[in-house]
């Protein structure tokens, strides 16, 4: 705006129309990077034509070929070179040069003539337009290439940062699993003996009380049943804490998932839920411990059923498989299994903790299901991610390597 104000102040005639055309050019130039619709090619072309028309009127009003403002034609040429590439630069350079030379049509050739020196001056002015446009286009192209490189680098860095965050989360989860596994094993062994003593004492109490003392017999029965429940929990703790010994063998992924689905469909919670399968063909047998992996998919499917059934009767769960590649260069070939539900979803604050042992949001849950899944997958060198939106559902994605991998 300051530069255009200087042009107005230095105007030879100082007429209002000349100042108005300069002001319109100033507004067009200043608004160019600020208007949203100019991000599209059509908007850019329209705006360049507007500046070309304003420049043409200004030159025509102030003397045509002899106007001191002939250089304002650089504005549309430079804009085209910056935004439209080589073809656009050439087109608008020719239009700008042609519009300037069109003032030759308004000369009364019966009264005036152009000397050879003046013709050379016209040719130089046109050549300068072309040179400025070409140079600007070269610089803009270099900037575009560099910007593309920076964007690609930023995307790669964002991907690397995401992978690092996921790796850190996996390491933290593994450390927590190891520590809590040791704690669980110690507590379970310590609890087994007193639980056995309590159960034996309850049985002896039940046999020793008189037959007519129904209350005492009922209380003794409660003690025995609760001890059995506690003992079942202790057994699960021990299973979680015990190191897994994989018995790998080539396993068909579709058949393995089918068995897990069949087990889940026998659960009472699955009566109101439909499970759909979408298996990709061509997935080769995978080196898995089929029994453990079937258990992992059973837990994932049961969680999906429990998140869907009570809240959305008649809801659906989809199990999809496909071949995929992981890693920056796609060097790790995997089979992806996605378990998709349309249930209640998971709150963002809970996503970090759902694989922690003993973390649960279910009233009677123990919080070992997903922890055991994570442990089985870690032992297979597999990975898992969760995408969830509260109220809309969750997607659990499991990536199983096609070749045996070391535990993560």
pLDDT at 392 over 90: no
- Overall pTM surpassing 0.85 (yes/no): no
Among candidates 292, 212, 308, which has minimal Cα distance to 260? 292
- Region 329-347: what's the mean pLDDT? 85
In angstroms, the Cα distances linking 215 to 4, 121, 164, 223 are: 101, 118, 61, 12
The pLDDT assigned to 300 comes to 92
High-pLDDT (> 90) share of the chain, %: 13
Helix or strand or coil: residue 190?
helix
Check whether residue 253 and residue 362 sit in a common domain: yes
- Summarised one tens digit per residue, pLDDT across range 304-329 is 888 886 556 668 899 999 998 887 66
Q: What is the DSSP letter of 280?
A: P
Check whether residue 183 and residue 260 sit in a common domain: no
Boundary-marking domain end, from 218, 241, 264: 241
C-beta of residue 57 within 8 angstroms of C-beta of residue 97: no
CA distance 190 to 129: 90
Reading across the β-sheet that carries 274-278, which strands appear in turn? Answer: 274-278, 316-326, 332-341, 393-401, 383-389
pLDDT at 224 over 90: no
- Summarised one tens digit per residue, pLDDT across range 67-109 is 777 788 888 888 888 888 788 888 888 888 888 888 778 777 7
In angstroms, the Cα distances linking 239 to 112, 157, 232, 364 are: 105, 40, 11, 19
Mean pLDDT, the chain, integer: 80
Does a structural domain hold residue 128?
no
Check whether residue 237 and residue 259 sit in a common domain: no
Check whether residue 392 and residue 323 sit in a common domain: yes
Does a structural domain hold residue 202?
yes
Check whether residue 194 and residue 257 sit in a common domain: no
CA distance 88 to 92: 6
pLDDT at 168 over 60: yes
The pLDDT assigned to 29 comes to 77
Q: Which of 35-44, 69-78, 212-221, 232-241 has the lowest mean pLDDT?
A: 232-241
| CB neighbour list of residue 328: distance below 8 Å, 6 or more residues apart | 156, 159, 160
Look-up of token digits 């009127």? 57
Most confident stretch, 171-180, 277-286, 304-313, 350-359: 277-286
- Region 136-146: what's the mean pLDDT? 84
Give the chain's domain count. Answer: 3
pLDDT at 252 over 80: yes
Most confident stretch, 2-6, 39-43, 124-128, 339-343: 339-343
Domain of residue 84 covers 2-113
pLDDT at 16 over 60: yes
Boundary-marking domain end, from 113, 143, 160: 113
Check whether residue 309 and residue 274 sit in a common domain: yes
For residue 159, what are its two tokens? 């991907």
Does a structural domain hold residue 145?
no
């Amino acid at each position: 705006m300051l530069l255009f104000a200087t042009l107005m102040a230095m105007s030879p005639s100082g007429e209002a129309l000349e100042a108005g055309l300069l002001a319109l050019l100033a507004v067009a130039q200043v608004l160019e990077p600020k208007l949203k619709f100019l991000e599209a090619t059509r908007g850019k072309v329209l705006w360049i034509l507007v500046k070309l028309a304003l420049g043409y009127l200004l030159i025509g009003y102030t003397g045509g070929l002899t106007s001191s403002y002939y250089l304002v034609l650089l504005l549309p040429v430079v804009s085209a070179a910056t935004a439209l590439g080589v073809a656009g630069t050439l087109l608008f350079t020719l239009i700008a040069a042609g519009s300037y030379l069109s003032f030759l049509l308004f000369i009364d050739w019966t009264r005036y003539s152009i000397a050879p020196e003046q013709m050379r001056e016209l040719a130089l002015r046109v050549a300068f337009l072309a040179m400025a446009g070409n140079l600007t286009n070269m610089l803009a192209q270099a900037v575009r290439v560099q910007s593309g490189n920076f964007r690609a680098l930023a995307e790669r860095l964002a991907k690397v940062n995401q992978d690092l965050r996921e790796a850190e989360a996996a390491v933290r989860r593994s450390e927590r699993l190891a520590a809590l596994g040791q704690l669980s094993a110690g507590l379970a062994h310590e609890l087994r003996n007193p639980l056995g003593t309590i159960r034996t004492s309850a049985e002896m109490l039940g046999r020793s009380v008189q037959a007519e003392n129904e209350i005492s017999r009922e209380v003794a029965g409660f003690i025995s049943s609760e001890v059995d429940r506690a003992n079942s929990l202790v057994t699960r703790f021990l299973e979680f804490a015990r190191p897994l010994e994989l018995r790998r063998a080539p396993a068909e992924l579709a058949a393995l998932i089918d068995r897990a689905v069949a087990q889940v469909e026998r659960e009472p919670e699955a009566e109101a839920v439909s499970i759909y399968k979408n298996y990709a063909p061509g997935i080769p047998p995978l080196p898995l411990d089929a029994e453990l992996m079937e258990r992992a998919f059973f837990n994932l499917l049961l969680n999906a059923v429990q998140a869907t059934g009570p809240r959305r009767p008649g809801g659906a769960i989809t199990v999809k498989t496909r071949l995929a590649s992981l890693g920056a260069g796609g060097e790790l070939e995997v089979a992806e299994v996605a378990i998709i539900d349309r249930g209640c979803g998971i709150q963002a604050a809970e996503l970090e903790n759902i694989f922690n042992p003993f973390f649960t949001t279910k009233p009677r849950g123990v919080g070992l299901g997903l922890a055991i899944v994570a442990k089985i997958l870690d032992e297979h060198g597999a990975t898992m991610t969760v995408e969830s939106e509260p109220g809309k559902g969750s997607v659990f994605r499991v990536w199983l390597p096609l070749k045996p991998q070391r535990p993560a």
